[in-house]
């Protein structure tokens, strides 16, 4: 499960970063908050990923799945802002202890 979470986190973070950069180019010189934009995009992509996974696996929505989806959205937002390598290193440090 951990590998699946990290793989999904990687792909959603990359898609979030690319989508935010594309939206920023579309906005041009207009003022915008990049962090808020990244949070919104990460949340939408995480929800879409979770819905796809639930539908694909035929799972019932449980509290655990909701919490994992929230964590997925938060970590993908954080990774898209900070960088995936730093988040991966942080997760590995916590899981190795």
pLDDT in tens, 24-78: 889 888 887 777 888 899 899 999 988 998 999 898 999 988 998 898 888 888 8
Which is more confidently placed, 88 or 6? 6
Domain enclosing residue 53, as ranges: 2-96
Residue 85, pLDDT > 60, answer no
Q: What is the pLDDT at residue 48?
A: 92
**Of 84 and 64, the one with more pLDDT:** 64
Residue keyed to tokens 């509290």? 63
Distances (CA, A) of 26 to 20, 32, 39: 10, 11, 18
Rounded CA Rg of the chain: 14
Could you tell me the pTM of the whole model? Answer: 0.74
For the chain, the domain total comes to 1
Task: Encode 1-21: b = buried (16+ Cβ within 10 Å), e = exposed.
Answer: eeeeebebbeebbebbbebbe
The arithmetic mean of pLDDT across residues 7-11, rounded, is 83
Burial 63-95 (b: 16+ CB within 10 A, else e): eeeeebbeebbebbbbbbbeebeebeeebeeee
pLDDT score of 94: 79
């Amino acid at each position: 499960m951990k590998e699946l979470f990290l793989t999904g986190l990687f792909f959603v973070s990359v898609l979030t970063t690319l989508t935010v950069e594309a939206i920023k180019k579309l906005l041009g010189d207009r003022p915008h908050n990049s962090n808020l934009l990244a949070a919104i995009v990460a949340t939408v992509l995480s929800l879409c990923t979770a819905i796809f996974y639930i539908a694909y696996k035929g799972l019932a929505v449980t509290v655990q799945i909701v919490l994992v989806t929230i964590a997925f959205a938060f970590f993908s937002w954080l990774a898209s802002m900070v960088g995936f390598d730093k988040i991966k290193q942080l997760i590995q440090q916590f899981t190795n202890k």
